Structure 1
Amino acid sequence: MQFFPPLQPATLIKRYKRFLADVITADGRELTLHCANTGAMTGCATPGDTVWYSTSDNLKRKYANSWELSETQSGHWICVNTLRANQVVREAIENDRIPELSGYSKLTAEVRYGAENSRIDLLLQADNRPNCYIEVKSVTLLQHGCGYFPDAVTLRGQKHLRELQAMAEQGQRTVLFFAVLHSGIETVAPAHHIDPRYAELLAQVQQNGVEVICYGAALSAEGIHLAKPLHLVSKQ
């Protein structure tokens, strides 16, 4: 995925009200950015970090600029715009860069499914094989040399695991896809210390047929693309 027009750099002052962040641009102006990430963003929003932002030409938007990436003072690149995870994974599948998900003829996004009124991020279909339901999660929390998900208690994420397990029990293929959008993360683990129920459910659904796929990404101000598979560990 390429950024067009190119991203612009700024220095983070603070993030607040979850959806907003104030920055100082390279020419010294103070600017308010929209932040699409409603999570804790632990380690991703330290004042003084370099922020890379995009600009929309949509005149109806209150804030034309969106926070896309953080470049930390320790040199890590992080995608903080959670909307990008689905886009990056979809592009990788369409370009046949994820061997585990190759061989399907149709890809559809945001399809309603399940008993709990969910929408699956990506649905893959092909003749003569089960449908493949893919739930995409963005991993950006780095602690003690490992990437963790989630970064806050997530009832919605727990619901998604239950929905995936139900589809697996019906004979469909189901995948939880961790898109690791932090350049410092090399392994992924469920965050037992943050959301123990999510970690328990993840172990349960894996035993009941839900696959877990983890891929790290190459990130820069020019764009993002999935680069290599990573390992999921049961670290506690």
Structure 2
Amino acid sequence: MEFEAPLVKGRLIKRYKRFLADVELEGSGEVITAHCANSGSMMGLTGEGIAVWLSNSNNPKRKLAYSWELLQVDGAMVGINTSRPNGLVEEALKAGAIPELSGFENLRREVKYGTNSRIDILLEGLEGKRVYVEVKNVTLSREAGLAEFPDAVTARGAKHLDEMGKVVEEGDRAAMVYLIQRDDCDRLSLASDIDPKYAKCFEEARAKGVEVYALCCKITPERIEVTGQARVEI
């Protein structure tokens, strides 16, 4: 995935109210407020002064013209915009990055299922079964090379795991795909200490047959590219 237009570099002043970030733009020194499309805690990623990259919308109806896309911390590039992973995973599936999820005839996004939920990606035509694919963005790393999910308590995530288990019980397939949007990790684990309930729901879903995959990314200010599968250590 290439960014639609060149990103604007800046320096983070602070993130607040979850969805807002004040940034000093490089060169001009202008301080702007950018939209932060990430509902997680972004643990370890919001230190004052870190380098960040923003996209700039030309939509005059937007309240905030800038969106926070990337950051750099301890030498690692990290993608924090949670509106990007579904498209990245779609690209990866079409390219055959996960062989177990290849060979589908049709791919649809944001399909209603379960109890007032929407599945991120629905694959159809795989051995006569549908595959419900739930995508999660992963940015937390507390150990070199190891990415962890989640970075905050996520009741919504636990609900999704429960519904994915029901999908399998009803005869279809279900797969969790964790997109590691940082370029210094090639392994994935659960942050059970942060959200024990999510970890318990994960174990129950996996026991029912929910499949689990993780993908690595290469990230630059020009593009984000899925480079292959990460090892799942769960």
* Interval of TM-score (by shorter of Structure 1 and Structure 2): over 0.9
The equivalent residue for 2:45 is 44
| Superposed displacement of residue 95, structure 1 | 3.1
CA distance in 2, matches of 1:38, 1:178: 16
| Superposed displacement of residue 81, structure 1 | 0.4
1:165 aligns with 2:151: no
CA distance in 2, matches of 1:155, 1:128: 33
| Pairing of 1:66-81 with structure 2 (within 5 A) | 66-72=67-73, 74-81=74-81
| Superposed displacement of residue 186, structure 1 | 2.1
CA distance in 2, matches of 1:86, 1:128: 23
| Pairing of 1:121-136 with structure 2 (within 5 A) | 121-126=120-125, 128-136=127-135
- Which is further off, 130-139 or 181-190? 181-190
The CA deviation string for residues 99-128 of structure 1, in whole angstroms up to 9 with x for no partner, is 2221001000000101x2211000000175
SS at match of 1:126: strand
The amino acid across from 1:93 in the alignment is L
CA distance in 2, matches of 1:127, 1:161: 21
The amino acid across from 1:62 in the alignment is K
| Superposed displacement of residue 56, structure 1 | 0.7
1:180 aligns with 2:180: yes
So what's the TM-score if we normalise by structure 2?
0.96
| Pairing of 1:1-236 with structure 2 (within 5 A) | 1-27=1-27, 28-72=29-73, 74-114=74-114, 116-126=115-125, 128-145=127-144, 146-234=146-234
The CA deviation string for residues 144-181 of structure 1, in whole angstroms up to 9 with x for no partner, is 23211111111100000000000001110100000000
SS at match of 2:78: strand
- Which is further off, 146-155 or 124-133? 124-133
The amino acid across from 1:208 in the alignment is K
Aligned length: 232
The CA deviation string for residues 170-196 of structure 1, in whole angstroms up to 9 with x for no partner, is 110100000000122221111110011
SS at match of 2:81: coil
SS at match of 2:46: coil
Unaligned runs of 5+ in 1: none
- 8 Å CA contact 1:44–1:80 kept in 2: the answer is no
CA distance in 2, matches of 1:127, 1:85: 22
Residue identity (%): 43
Choose between structure 1 and 2: higher strand proportion: 2
SS at match of 1:89: helix
The CA deviation string for residues 53-104 of structure 1, in whole angstroms up to 9 with x for no partner, is 00111110011110000112x1111101011111100122223333222100
- Which is further off, 81-90 or 143-152? 143-152
SS at match of 2:159: helix
SS at match of 1:83: coil
How much is the aligned-residue C-alpha RMSD, in angstroms?
A: 1.2
CA distance in 2, matches of 1:137, 1:92: 14
The amino acid across from 1:17 in the alignment is K
